[in-house]
Protein backbone atom coordinates (compact mmCIF):
# COMPACT_ATOMS: atom_id res chain seq x y z
CA UNK A 1 0.00 0.00 0.00
CA UNK A 2 2.78 2.42 0.95
CA UNK A 3 4.62 1.55 -2.24
CA UNK A 4 1.51 2.29 -4.33
CA UNK A 5 0.99 5.58 -2.48
CA UNK A 6 4.62 6.58 -3.04
CA UNK A 7 4.30 5.71 -6.72
CA UNK A 8 1.14 7.80 -7.03
CA UNK A 9 2.82 10.78 -5.37
CA UNK A 10 5.87 10.43 -7.62
CA UNK A 11 3.67 10.25 -10.73
CA UNK A 12 1.75 13.35 -9.67
CA UNK A 13 4.94 15.32 -9.01
CA UNK A 14 6.35 14.24 -12.36
CA UNK A 15 3.20 15.40 -14.16
CA UNK A 16 3.29 18.74 -12.35
CA UNK A 17 6.94 19.18 -13.23
CA UNK A 18 6.16 18.49 -16.87
CA UNK A 19 3.27 20.94 -16.85
CA UNK A 20 5.41 23.62 -15.22
CA UNK A 21 8.18 23.03 -17.74
CA UNK A 22 5.76 23.40 -20.63
CA UNK A 23 4.32 26.56 -19.06
CA UNK A 24 7.80 28.01 -18.51
CA UNK A 25 8.72 27.23 -22.10
CA UNK A 26 5.66 29.12 -23.32
CA UNK A 27 6.36 32.00 -20.97
CA UNK A 28 9.95 32.10 -22.16
CA UNK A 29 8.98 32.36 -25.83
CA UNK A 30 9.19 36.06 -26.80
CA UNK A 31 6.33 35.55 -29.25
CA UNK A 32 3.99 35.36 -26.24
CA UNK A 33 5.39 38.39 -24.41
CA UNK A 34 2.62 40.76 -23.28
CA UNK A 35 2.35 43.90 -25.40
CA UNK A 36 1.80 47.31 -23.86
CA UNK A 37 0.12 49.43 -26.47
CA UNK A 38 1.38 52.82 -27.54
CA UNK A 39 -1.98 54.59 -28.02
CA UNK A 40 -0.50 56.68 -30.83
CA UNK A 41 0.16 53.57 -32.95
CA UNK A 42 -2.19 51.24 -34.86
CA UNK A 43 -2.91 47.76 -33.52
CA UNK A 44 -2.00 44.62 -35.45
CA UNK A 45 -3.00 41.03 -34.67
CA UNK A 46 -1.11 37.96 -35.92
CA UNK A 47 -3.08 34.72 -36.10
CA UNK A 48 -1.46 31.43 -37.05
CA UNK A 49 0.30 28.25 -36.02
CA UNK A 50 3.92 27.61 -35.05
CA UNK A 51 5.18 29.15 -38.30
CA UNK A 52 3.68 32.48 -37.24
CA UNK A 53 4.97 31.99 -33.70
CA UNK A 54 8.43 31.76 -35.23
CA UNK A 55 8.19 35.04 -37.15
CA UNK A 56 6.32 37.04 -34.47
CA UNK A 57 9.35 38.42 -32.54
CA UNK A 58 11.18 39.60 -35.68
CA UNK A 59 7.97 41.11 -37.07
CA UNK A 60 7.57 43.13 -33.88
CA UNK A 61 11.13 44.42 -34.14
CA UNK A 62 10.64 45.43 -37.77
CA UNK A 63 7.45 47.30 -36.95
CA UNK A 64 8.71 48.89 -33.73
CA UNK A 65 7.55 52.49 -33.56
CA UNK A 66 5.08 51.82 -36.38
CA UNK A 67 2.53 49.45 -34.85
CA UNK A 68 1.57 47.55 -31.71
CA UNK A 69 1.99 43.94 -32.87
CA UNK A 70 -0.01 41.40 -30.88
CA UNK A 71 -0.53 37.69 -31.53
CA UNK A 72 -3.01 35.13 -30.30
CA UNK A 73 -1.84 33.53 -27.02
CA UNK A 74 -1.40 30.05 -28.49
CA UNK A 75 -0.77 27.97 -31.58
CA UNK A 76 -3.75 28.67 -33.84
CA UNK A 77 -3.98 25.02 -34.92
CA UNK A 78 -6.53 23.98 -37.56
CA UNK A 79 -9.49 26.03 -38.77
CA UNK A 80 -11.93 24.23 -36.50
CA UNK A 81 -9.90 25.49 -33.53
CA UNK A 82 -10.15 28.98 -34.99
CA UNK A 83 -13.94 28.84 -35.31
CA UNK A 84 -14.15 27.97 -31.61
CA UNK A 85 -11.75 30.63 -30.34
CA UNK A 86 -11.60 33.55 -32.78
CA UNK A 87 -14.25 35.57 -30.95
CA UNK A 88 -12.11 35.36 -27.78
CA UNK A 89 -8.91 36.09 -29.71
CA UNK A 90 -10.40 39.19 -31.33
CA UNK A 91 -11.62 40.51 -27.99
CA UNK A 92 -13.27 43.90 -27.67
CA UNK A 93 -10.38 46.15 -28.75
CA UNK A 94 -9.96 47.79 -32.15
CA UNK A 95 -7.73 46.11 -34.72
CA UNK A 96 -6.31 48.01 -37.67
CA UNK A 97 -4.75 45.00 -39.42
CA UNK A 98 -5.16 41.25 -38.92
CA UNK A 99 -2.58 39.01 -40.59
CA UNK A 100 -3.74 35.38 -40.47
CA UNK A 101 -3.23 31.83 -41.68
CA UNK A 102 -4.58 28.33 -41.18
CA UNK A 103 -3.56 25.25 -43.13
CA UNK A 104 -0.65 23.14 -41.93
CA UNK A 105 -2.73 21.56 -39.17
CA UNK A 106 -5.74 21.07 -41.42
CA UNK A 107 -3.72 19.00 -43.92
CA UNK A 108 -2.24 16.63 -41.32
CA UNK A 109 -2.83 13.03 -42.33
CA UNK A 110 -4.07 10.31 -40.01
CA UNK A 111 -5.40 6.95 -41.20
CA UNK A 112 -5.33 8.36 -44.72
CA UNK A 113 -7.60 11.29 -43.85
CA UNK A 114 -6.91 14.98 -43.39
CA UNK A 115 -7.42 16.45 -39.94
CA UNK A 116 -9.85 18.88 -41.57
CA UNK A 117 -11.21 17.81 -45.00
CA UNK A 118 -10.93 20.51 -47.65
CA UNK A 119 -14.69 21.11 -47.83
CA UNK A 120 -14.76 21.76 -44.07
CA UNK A 121 -11.62 23.88 -44.37
CA UNK A 122 -13.39 26.09 -46.91
CA UNK A 123 -16.51 26.33 -44.75
CA UNK A 124 -14.46 27.22 -41.67
CA UNK A 125 -12.38 29.81 -43.53
CA UNK A 126 -15.49 31.58 -44.77
CA UNK A 127 -16.80 31.74 -41.21
CA UNK A 128 -13.45 33.02 -39.92
CA UNK A 129 -13.13 35.70 -42.60
CA UNK A 130 -16.66 36.90 -41.84
CA UNK A 131 -15.83 37.19 -38.13
CA UNK A 132 -12.60 39.08 -38.78
CA UNK A 133 -14.19 41.42 -41.34
CA UNK A 134 -16.69 42.32 -38.63
CA UNK A 135 -13.90 44.07 -36.71
CA UNK A 136 -13.40 46.60 -39.50
CA UNK A 137 -9.70 45.69 -39.69
CA UNK A 138 -7.78 45.35 -42.93
CA UNK A 139 -7.22 41.63 -43.47
CA UNK A 140 -4.15 39.89 -44.86
CA UNK A 141 -4.17 36.18 -45.61
CA UNK A 142 -0.79 34.44 -45.53
CA UNK A 143 -0.65 31.38 -47.75
CA UNK A 144 0.45 28.16 -46.08
CA UNK A 145 4.17 27.54 -46.41
CA UNK A 146 5.54 24.46 -48.25
CA UNK A 147 5.92 20.95 -46.90
CA UNK A 148 9.42 19.69 -47.83
CA UNK A 149 10.14 16.41 -49.53
CA UNK A 150 10.64 13.41 -47.27
CA UNK A 151 8.75 11.73 -44.45
CA UNK A 152 7.60 14.51 -42.13
CA UNK A 153 6.08 13.88 -38.71
CA UNK A 154 3.12 14.16 -38.54
CA UNK A 155 2.59 13.15 -42.19
CA UNK A 156 1.80 15.95 -44.64
CA UNK A 157 1.92 16.32 -48.43
CA UNK A 158 2.92 19.44 -50.32
CA UNK A 159 0.29 18.61 -52.94
CA UNK A 160 -2.30 19.24 -50.21
CA UNK A 161 -0.73 22.60 -49.36
CA UNK A 162 -1.18 23.59 -53.00
CA UNK A 163 -4.83 22.49 -53.07
CA UNK A 164 -5.75 24.09 -49.73
CA UNK A 165 -3.97 27.32 -50.71
CA UNK A 166 -5.89 27.33 -53.98
CA UNK A 167 -9.20 27.07 -52.12
CA UNK A 168 -8.14 29.73 -49.61
CA UNK A 169 -7.07 32.16 -52.34
CA UNK A 170 -10.48 31.86 -54.00
CA UNK A 171 -12.20 32.72 -50.71
CA UNK A 172 -9.87 35.67 -50.08
CA UNK A 173 -10.39 37.06 -53.58
CA UNK A 174 -14.17 36.79 -53.17
CA UNK A 175 -13.92 38.77 -49.93
CA UNK A 176 -11.39 41.37 -51.05
CA UNK A 177 -8.75 40.11 -48.61
CA UNK A 178 -5.10 40.93 -49.39
CA UNK A 179 -2.81 37.93 -49.90
CA UNK A 180 0.74 37.59 -48.58
CA UNK A 181 2.06 34.66 -50.63
CA UNK A 182 4.55 33.13 -48.22
CA UNK A 183 4.37 29.86 -50.15
CA UNK A 184 5.76 31.42 -53.33
CA UNK A 185 8.29 33.39 -51.29
CA UNK A 186 9.64 30.37 -49.42
CA UNK A 187 9.47 27.62 -52.06
CA UNK A 188 12.60 28.46 -54.10
CA UNK A 189 14.76 28.87 -50.99
CA UNK A 190 13.54 26.12 -48.69
CA UNK A 191 17.02 24.65 -48.36
CA UNK A 192 18.21 27.98 -46.93
CA UNK A 193 15.21 28.80 -44.74
CA UNK A 194 13.60 25.57 -43.56
CA UNK A 195 14.73 22.78 -41.26
CA UNK A 196 15.52 19.46 -42.93
CA UNK A 197 12.45 17.31 -43.60
CA UNK A 198 10.48 19.58 -41.30
CA UNK A 199 7.75 22.16 -41.96
CA UNK A 200 9.35 24.56 -39.46
CA UNK A 201 11.89 27.24 -40.27
CA UNK A 202 15.32 28.01 -38.91
CA UNK A 203 15.79 31.23 -36.96
CA UNK A 204 17.09 32.92 -40.10
CA UNK A 205 14.18 31.46 -42.04
CA UNK A 206 11.66 32.92 -39.59
CA UNK A 207 13.42 36.27 -39.82
CA UNK A 208 13.16 36.15 -43.61
CA UNK A 209 9.42 35.44 -43.35
CA UNK A 210 9.11 38.31 -40.88
CA UNK A 211 10.57 40.77 -43.40
CA UNK A 212 7.85 39.79 -45.83
CA UNK A 213 5.12 39.85 -43.16
CA UNK A 214 6.17 43.24 -41.79
CA UNK A 215 6.36 44.79 -45.25
CA UNK A 216 2.87 43.52 -46.13
CA UNK A 217 1.43 44.86 -42.86
CA UNK A 218 3.15 48.22 -43.25
CA UNK A 219 1.76 48.54 -46.79
CA UNK A 220 -1.74 47.82 -45.48
CA UNK A 221 -1.37 50.43 -42.74
CA UNK A 222 -0.37 53.09 -45.28
CA UNK A 223 -3.47 52.55 -47.41
Task: Answer for the pair 172, 179: CB distance below 8 angstroms, yes or no.
Answer: yes
Distance CA(39)–CA(68), nearest Å, equals 9
Residue 47's Cβ-count burial label (10 Å; 0-12, 13-18, 19+) is buried
pTM: 0.87
Q: Is 50 helix (H, G, I), strand (E, B) or coil?
A: helix
Residue 214 CA, chain-centre distance (Å), reads 15
The per-residue pLDDT for range 103-153, each reduced to its tens digit, is 999 999 999 999 999 999 999 999 999 999 999 999 999 999 999 999 999
Is the pLDDT assigned to residue 7 strictly greater than 80?
A: no
Handedness of CA 112, 165, 97, 123 (dihedral sign): negative
Q: What are the angstrom distances between the C-alpha of 216 and each of 59, 93, 99, 222?
A: 11, 22, 9, 10
The per-residue pLDDT for range 62-73, each reduced to its tens digit, is 999 999 999 999
Share of the chain above pLDDT 70, in %: 88
pLDDT at 186: 98
pLDDT at 223: 85
Taking CA 42 as the corner, what is the angle to CA 63 and CA 90, rounded to the nearest 5 degrees?
A: 105
Task: Answer for the pair 143, 179: CB distance below 8 angstroms, yes or no.
Answer: yes
Average pLDDT over residues 189-206: 97
Q: Which residues contact 127 (CB under 8 A, 6 or more apart)?
A: 83
Is the pLDDT assigned to residue 56 strictly greater than 70?
A: yes
Confidence band, pLDDT 50/70/90 cuts, at residue 27: low
Is the pLDDT assigned to residue 20 strictly greater than 60?
A: no
Distance CA(192)–CA(169), nearest Å, equals 26
pLDDT at 28: 75
Per the DSSP assignment, residues forming a β-bridge with 43 are 68
The per-residue pLDDT for range 66-111, each reduced to its tens digit, is 999 999 999 999 999 999 999 999 999 999 999 999 999 999 999 9
The average confidence (pLDDT) of the chain is 90
Task: Answer for the pair 164, 144: CB distance below 8 angstroms, yes or no.
Answer: yes
Amino acid sequence: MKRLLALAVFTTLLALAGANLAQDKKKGDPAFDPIKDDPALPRVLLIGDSISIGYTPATRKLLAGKANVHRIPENGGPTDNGTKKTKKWLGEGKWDVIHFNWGLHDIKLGSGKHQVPIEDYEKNLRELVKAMKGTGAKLIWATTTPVPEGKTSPPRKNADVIEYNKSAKKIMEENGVAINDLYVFALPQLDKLQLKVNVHFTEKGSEALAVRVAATIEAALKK
